Each structure stands twice: as structure tokens, then as C-alpha cells.
């Protein structure tokens, strides 16, 4: 099976939520995006839940274990970037000033992954596909459509990702903010901006965006389901209308009604 263009090496292919309350997360995201849930056993009383749209996997969620929470790992979304070799990309990332938080390892027979941190402190994962290519849908309603890096060091992060994945970058002004678009060939794969003082001590991070049909309706729904609105619905000229939300466990993510394909 040949991967679709969206899942080629150097593009975002998967997203997963590590949460302290999987039951609550299922209710919240299922109610917000209409996701159906498919629990895949990982061990005794442990599940990796595939979240689905139209019967196709678009991401996953799982309960953080005691070992992870004892290490201070907070609930979070983790974005995956496709690679031809998780081992080679992890080694290259380290040579470019990144950190290998979890060395490359096999995920049964579905793929091989590693967890990395860029020089500015943002965490992401590598995915070397075997039986599982990644998301069955991208950019459709309820599915991942964009990934955005909020960073304390635009220069260091930009150099790291362009050298690691061969991305090119272009900077455009979005009001008073300089916004970097990362490109894989002619395809836009992600964005980046510098974190201002309003972010305080929040670490650099990748944020997933999920496509919705009505931004305002979805934001209100998130609030009614026990979430919070961190950035109210706002228009981005020529792109769409977005909002940044927070789930009941405090994990931030964004939604967007696109006026054009991502």
C-alpha cells in the first residue's frame, strides 16, 4: 500500500493524547468531534484507544501510567512526523542539537518510533511506518489538519527542522506577528511563531489543529462539555476561523474552519 502524499517522509502523520483521565477524554472529544473509539489492549487493564472518523483512524488517546505521572509528565498532545528511518532521524536530530527522549523502538509490527525534543524544548515523535501508515483522514472535519510550533527560539528551531527534514521555510506577517510556514516541496506541513511574554513560563510546544465545520459552534460545545476557551473564535484572513481550546484535563489544542485546504 502506497502512502498518500500527506503521509510521505517529513510530513505530520499522526497525533495522540496522553491523559490522566481516559474516560473523561473520550466523552469530551467524542462529544466535540463525533469521534468513535476503538480500544486496543496494550496490557493488563491498559488500552490504546484509536479515535476514528468515518471508520478510519485519525489519532489516538491513552491513559498515562504511574511511571509517567511520577516523572512529572503532564497530559499532552503529541504530534508524529513520518520518516523513512526512525533510528537515522533520531541520530541526526541529536547531532543537530536536539534530544532523544525515547530511543527508536518497534511498536509491535505496525511501525517504529522515537520521541525527540528540539533545541527550544518542544517535543515531537518520529514514525517509521510498517503496517500502520498513520491517519486515514487529514484535514476533514474532526481530523488533524495543521501543526503549529510555539517556540521561545525561532532561529534555533527553524534551523533544526529544516536540516532534519529538509523543509524549506518562508516567513509572512500575520498582523504584528511574523509567522513561519514550513514546506515539504510544494506542500505546507506546519507553522511556527515566537512565544511572547503572555506565554509566561510555558514551554515551547507543538499544537495540533483539528478541522471543524463551524468554529463558533464547536467552541461553545467544548465549553458545554467541560472544556475551556483559551482563545475565542478569531478570523485569520485567507485561511479560516480558529479557536484555541482546553480539554477537562487542561490540554490545549486548536480547532479551525478552513476557508481553503490546509
* 104 touches 86 (CB < 8 A): yes
Q: What pLDDT band is residue 37 in, cutting at 50, 70 and 90?
A: very high
SS3 string, the chain, reads CCCCHHHCCCCEEEEEEEECCHHHHHHHHHHHHCCEEEEEEEECCEEEEEEEECCEEEEEEEECCHHHHHCCCCCEEEEEEECCCHHHHHHHHHHCCCEEEEEEEEECCCEEEEEEECCCCCEEEEEEECCCCCCCCCCCCCCEEEEEEEECCHHHHHHHHHHHHCCEEEEEEECCEEEEEEEECCEEEEEEEECCHHHCCCCCEEEEEEECCCHHHHHHHHHHCCCEEEEEEEEECCCEEEEEEECCCCCEEEEEEECCCC
Summarize pLDDT for 214-234 with one digit per residue, the tens: 999 999 999 999 999 999 999
pLDDT of residue 1: 29
| Mean of pLDDT values over 194-200 | 91
Summarize pLDDT for 234-247 with one digit per residue, the tens: 999 889 999 999 99
**How far apart, in Å, are the Cα atoms of 38 and each of 14, 55, 101, 108?**
16, 10, 28, 18
Which of 34-48, 92-106, 141-155 comes out lowest in average pLDDT?
34-48
pLDDT of residue 2: 35
| Mean of pLDDT values over 5-31 | 90
Q: Is the pLDDT of residue 111 over 50?
A: yes
Q: What's the number of CA atoms in the CB half-sphere (13 Å) around residue 237?
A: 4
| Mean of pLDDT values over 195-213 | 94
Residue ranges of domains in the chain, CATH in brackets? 1-262 (3.10.180.10)
Q: Is the pLDDT of residue 26 over 60?
A: yes
Q: What pLDDT band is residue 260 in, cutting at 50, 70 and 90?
A: low
pLDDT of residue 170: 95
Summarize pLDDT for 153-176 with one digit per residue, the tens: 999 999 999 999 999 999 998 878
Burial of 67 (0-12, 13-18, 19+ CB in 10 A): exposed
Summarize pLDDT for 38-69 with one digit per residue, the tens: 999 887 778 999 999 989 999 999 999 988 88
pTM, full prediction: 0.93
Q: Is the pLDDT of residue 254 over 90?
A: yes
d(CA 124, CA 261): 24
Which residues fall within 8 angstroms of residue 55, CB to CB, at 6 or more apart?
Answer: 36
Amino acid at each position: 500500500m502506497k502512502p498518500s502524499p500527506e503521509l510521505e517522509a517529513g510530513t505530520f502523520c499522526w497525533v495522540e493524547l496522553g491523559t490522566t483521565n481516559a474516560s473523561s477524554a473520550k466523552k469530551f472529544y467524542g462529544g466535540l468531534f463525533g469521534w468513535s473509539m476503538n480500544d486496543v489492549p496494550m496490557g493488563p487493564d491498559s488500552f490504546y484507544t484509536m479515535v476514528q472518523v468515518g471508520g478510519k483512524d485519525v489519532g489516538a488517546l491513552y491513559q498515562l501510567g504511574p511511571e509517567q505521572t511520577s516523572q512529572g509528565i503532564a497530559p499532552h498532545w503529541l504530534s508524529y512526523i513520518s520518516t523513512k528511518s526512525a533510528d537515522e532521524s533520531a541520530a541526526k536530530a541529536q547531532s543537530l542539537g536536539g534530544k532523544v527522549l525515547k530511543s527508536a523502538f518497534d511498536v509491535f509490527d505496525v511501525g517504529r518510533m522515537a520521541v525527540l525534543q528540539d533545541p527550544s524544548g518542544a517535543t515531537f515523535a518520529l514514525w517509521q511506518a510498517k503496517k500502520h501508515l498513520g491517519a486515514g483522514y487529514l484535514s476533514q472535519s474532526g481530523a488533524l489538519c495543521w501543526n503549529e510550533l510555539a517556540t521561545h527560539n525561532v532561529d534555533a528551531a527553524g534551523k533544526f527542522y529544516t536540516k532534519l527534514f529538509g523543509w524549506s521555510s518562508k516567513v509572512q506577517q500575520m498582523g504584528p506577528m511574523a509567522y513561519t510556514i514550513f514546506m515539504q516541496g510544494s506542500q505546507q506541513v506546519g507553522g511556527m511563531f515566537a512565544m511572547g511574554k503572555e506565554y509566561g513560563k510555558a514551554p515551547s510546544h507543538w499544537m495540533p489543529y483539528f478541522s471543524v465545520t463551524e468554529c463558533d459552534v464547536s467552541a461553545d460545545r467544548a465549553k458545554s462539555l467541560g472544556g475551556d476557551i483559551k482563545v475565542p473564535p478569531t478570523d485569520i484572513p485567507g485561511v479560516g476561523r480558529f479557536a484555541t481550546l482546553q480539554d477537562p484535563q487542561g490540554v490545549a489544542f486548536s480547532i479551525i474552519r478552513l476557508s481553503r485546504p490546509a
